[in-house]
Structure 1
Amino acid sequence: MTGRFTGRTAVVTGASRGIGLGIAQRLVDEGAKVVVTARKQEALDEAVASLGGPEHALGVAGKADDPDHQAETVKRAVEAFGSLDFLVNNAGINPIFGPLVEVDLAAVRKIIEVNCVAALSWVQQAHQAWMGEHGGAVVNVGSGTSLRPAPGMGVYGSSKALLTYLTRELAVELGPSVRVNEVAPAVVKTRFAAPLYEGREEEVAAAYPLKRLGVPEDIGSVVAFLLSEDAGWLTGQQLVVDGGVTLTGVG
């Protein structure tokens, strides 16, 4: 790896496993110090160990939509590593599946709270604590389900569509010192997405021009690009990382 993030610090939410951990690993591999969040400290301790230990990473447990947890995480990042240059909003939930006319509206509100409002709040916290004065870069993790109707996943897709709009608006408001972009994955092989492919992976992957599902490393490399100076003239963009499946009209 290049070491292009040496001396930089990132907060990655929802990063005890899956895509979030894959992103954190790529950033550490390129020299960054990383603060990872999730709900359970034990899972975070395992993640920190896999990232190389406290010299490279710090785990702060809490709920992604808790403002006190957000403030504590941001504060500890700056105290531990001296800056907060990057924020990756990866935490997200999707506890419901079914037609919109039948969904529990309380669950809808919770999905919007975690997937959208919390992401905005994390940006506010990072901006107030560091980025407003020093600059930085933000990547929001969206979803390919936001690109077209996704029966059964309409609430989740809608929340990610709102996240895309927030990404663009923040890019306009926070430029030039802070860049804000989004990565929108299709199905990535994680516990979160397992119901979409488990037991029929070959069948699902057949619809992808690249004939495989994603893995966390596929997303980590793109997020690293968006955070880096190689993407220095990119802001407000949604990069779809989907093995080409949206070209087929299936994903």
Structure 2
Amino acid sequence: MTEAMKGKTAIVTGGSRGIGFAAATALHAAGANVVLTSRSQDDAVHAASALGERALGMGAHVADQAAARACVDEAMRTYGSVDVLVNNAGTNAAHGPVLQQDYARFAKTMDVNLWAPILWSSLVVDAWMGQHGGSIVNTASIGGYSVSHGIGVYNVSKAALIHLTKQLAIELGPAVRVNAVAPGVVRTKLAEALWSEHEEALNSKTPLRRIGEPQDVSSAIMFLASNESSWITGETLVVDGGQVIDAGPPPERGLVPRASGAAANG
């Protein structure tokens, strides 16, 4: 997809590291101007400088309406359009059983993981996409399709984001396409507690026998952001190496059933 994004501008929230930085890198390599955000201005500027020309880093708490508006306004002033929005910033502030969370931790998780995508989407639609079209990609999680101990509020927020993706697709079509990716466990700081001491066990349950890398997810984001997916909207693409299947260890050699007759060729 070399130069597939030439002349377009993309905003990536939470773009200074992990999946966000990988997505910003892929979009930039495809020719896009990229505005990436981070809570830390220094981190945002450092990440943008690593990309070079056509990249701008801005510090902004993703749920801060004034900061979000300033980022979108600056993107418009600097590059003249916002054609792609990647709602990537996320948090898991509410650890433990759902009923043991206080309102502050619940609200922080929902503000970042659910409200912020609504906020940023509304701003880019008003600023450009509503009249000129564009593509929005949300970073959800396979947690939005399952339940697990310890991250219940996070999973609820991602389930809601998957539903929000469908809702926005019908509200913003045909001018704007809205899709999402649902990563499994990826080698990022946010997910470190899930893999740092459990990588071998995770690999054994994953059909592709490895956890994800940020580039695995950024490739999917790039596909959904580009015209290669021009007839796809309201969908969530699972990118997890098969983790959600939980296949378990491979069978012993010789125990895999073999097809025969017509079925073997069909």
Same fold (TM > 0.5): yes
The one-letter amino acid paired with 1:135 is G
TM-score, normalising length: structure 2: 0.91
- Please report the TM-score for the alignment, with normalisation by the length of structure 1: 0.96
Q: How does 1:141-220 map to 2 (within 5 A)?
A: 141-220=139-218
2:112 matches 1:114: yes
Q: Which moved more, 1:22-31 or 1:39-48?
A: 39-48
**Percent of aligned pairs sharing the same letter:** 44
Larger Rg over CA atoms = 2
What are the ranges of 5 or more consecutive residues in structure 1 without an aligned counterpart? none
- Segments of 4+ moved more than 4 angstroms: none
For structure 2, the 5+ residue unaligned runs are: 249-266
* Coordinate RMSD, CA, aligned: 1.1
Aligned mate of 2:72, from 67, 71, 74 = 74
Q: Secondary structure at the match of 2:211?
A: coil
- The separation in 2 between residues aligned to 1:191 and 1:109, in whole angstroms, is 21
The residue aligned with 2:264 is none
Equivalent-residue separation in structure 1 for 2:211 and 2:3 (angstroms): 28
Once the two structures are TM-superposed, the CA of residue 203 in structure 1 deviates from its matched residue by: 2.1
1:29-59 Cα offsets, whole Å, 9 max, x none, are 111110000111111121012112xx22101
SS in 1 for 2:193: helix
- Is 1:39 aligned to residue 39 of structure 2? yes
In structure 1, the partner of 2:55 is: 57
**How far is 1:201 from its partner?**
1.6
Distance 2:171 2:198 in 1: 44
Which 10-residue stretch deviates more, 39-48 or 123-132?
39-48
Structure 1 residue aligned with 2:12: 12
Deviations 1:169-228 (A, max 9, x none): 000010001000000000110111111111332222221100111111011110010011
CA distance in 2, matches of 1:249, 1:169: 32
Provide the C-alpha distance between the structure 1 equivalents of 2:230 and 2:165, rounded to a whole number of angstroms. 16
Instruction: Name the amino acid aligned to 1:71.
Output: R
Contact 2:94–2:109 (CA<8 Å) still a contact in 1? Answer: no
- Matched residue type, 1:83: S
What is the DSSP-based 3-state SS (H/G/I as helix, E as strand, rest coil) of the residue aligned with 2:177? Answer: strand
For residues 10 and 165 of structure 1, the distance between their equivalents in structure 2, rounded to whole angstroms, comes to: 23
Offset at 1:105?
2.3
Distance between the aligned counterparts of 2:171 and 2:41, measured in 1? 35
- Higher mean C-alpha displacement, 131-140 vs 41-50: 41-50
Please tell me the residue identity of whatever aligns with 1:121: L
Q: 2: distance between equivalents of 1:47 and 1:107?
A: 28
Instruction: Give the stretch that moved more between structures: 220-229 or 202-211.
Output: 202-211
Aligned with 1:130 (options 128, 133, 139): 128
- TM-fit CA distance, 1:249: 6.6
> How far 1:117 sits from its partner (Å)?
0.9
- Secondary structure of 1:180's counterpart equals strand
Number of aligned positions between the proteins: 248
Superposition pairs for residues 71-110 of structure 1, below 5 Å?
71-110=69-108
Tell me the residue number matched to 1:30.
30
